[in-house]
Structure 1
Amino acid sequence: MTAGAGAGAGTGTGTGTGAGDAPRRRGRPARKDAAAGPSARQQILDAAREEFAARGYDKTSVRGIAKAAGVDPALVHHYFGTKDEVFESAIEITFEPALPIPGKVLAAGPDKIGEQLARNFFGIWENPATRTPLLAVVRSALTHDAAAAVLRSFVLRRLLGQVAERLDVPDPKLRAELAASQMVGIALLRYVIKAEPLASADIEEIIGLVAPTLQRYLTES
């Protein structure tokens, strides 16, 4: 009896754990999840971007992100902590394709800034691969302060701010905000609300109409 009981305990039957197993702490991923390493983290980020894009910030949950990624919710908390943190991480990598825009715009020369800015900005929106995560930002920014702050920071500081501060014009920050209002407003109507005829208009026609306004905002004294 004693030997049998000892054997049963050693095999980890019932509710016990095996002798070689470390107990799982609350809020930490199981070993099989943790072993997935960076690929599991990337799965979560990809799923988060799709969930935020489809549902907006308020209707997206950590549990929903975990389900879409095929992982335990504890793994989301393990890598990112809160929903705000996973949102910020997902959005950060969303903006990578847009980071070269200031350099390209400035390299085009003072007379072409408006056209290059419009072409590069809307070029990212026209690409389905980069449009989906950007939709997550805009939709979420409409209902959540943290998402709005992320969008402001990107458009004003990392995009238009870098362009405006290199130009010899008065009130560069105000001009950058006016240009941002023009481009973000068009993106909202064309890609989020899908207002016609703007949603179906040829992108070259839009660039041609918008570029002179951006040029005036950013260069005219």
Structure 2
Amino acid sequence: MTKPRGRRPGHADTRAAILRSALELFSEFGYDKVSLRAVARAADVDPALIHHYFESKADLFSRSVLDVEINAERALQEILDGPVEHLGERAAASFLATWQAPGARERFIAMFRAAVNDNGPRRVLVEFLSREIFVKVVQRLGLPDPATRASLAVAALLGIVMARDILAMPSLTSLKDAEVIAGLGRVLQQHLVEP
């Protein structure tokens, strides 16, 4: 029996292959530098199949990269449960645990790379972290100016990710998780809780 010629037809595993290839490419090159044709080549499928499964490049990006299970309400409770004096550390620990979940790191790196170049992913990422987590933390604590506090907290998280995981600054990549949580926790505590 001879192997069929040409690109793989649309079977059940085709969508998964497209998603895997898109995640790898977005993670390595960022949003702007990845084309749908490049994803099709990497997945070894006809480019028309990309349009069969996904409406656009943005749709493919959101389904391949942002498809990380983040339970915002559970994260919010983890951050709020406990003494307010340690809220920043709990927020840092929650973020780090989400970051280290299987498959999450690659997805987040792709999001951050895309956020540097494109307003859409930047807006989605910042809005999610700000609105669904940090604004609610500040509101539940009854503190003033939740939007500004949340933006500062998001900036701190994005800064540590950029410096540690994208720029790979040696002094940060060598830190143990407990050291990251302690340092980032102090910054988050200041932004979210302190006057």
Scaled to the shorter chain, the TM-score interval is: 0.7 to 0.9
**Greater relative contact order, per chain length (Cα 8 Å cut-off, separation 6+):** 2
Q: Which runs of 5+ in 2 are unaligned?
A: 1-6
How many Å separate the matches in 2 of 1:116 and 1:45?
33
State the 1:48 CA deviation. Answer: 1.3
- CA gap of 1:108–1:67, structure 2 versus 1, over 3 A, is farther
Write the letter of the residue equivalent to 1:134. F
Tell me which residue corresponds to 2:3.
none
How many Å separate the matches in 2 of 1:58 and 1:32?
27
1:141 aligns with 2:110: no
Partner of 2:144, secondary structure, is coil
Give yes or no for contact 1:44–1:69 (8 Å, CA) kept in 2: yes
1:157 aligns with 2:131: yes
1:75 aligns with 2:49: yes
Tell me which residue corresponds to 1:172.
146
Give yes or no for contact 1:53–1:136 (8 Å, CA) kept in 2: yes
Tell me which residue corresponds to 2:39.
65
Alignment of 1:14-33 (within 5 A): 32-33=9-10
State the 1:191 CA deviation. Answer: 0.3
| Equivalent residue for 1:182, pick from 142, 156, 170 | 156
State the 1:182 CA deviation. Answer: 1.0
Q: Which runs of 5+ in 1 are unaligned?
A: 1-29
Give yes or no for contact 1:97–1:130 (8 Å, CA) kept in 2: no
TM-score, scaled to structure 2: 0.86
Write the letter of the residue equivalent to 1:51. L
- The runs of at least 4 consecutive aligned structure 1 residues that moved more than 3 Å come to 97-100
1:203 aligns with 2:182: no
Percent sequence identity over aligned pairs: 34
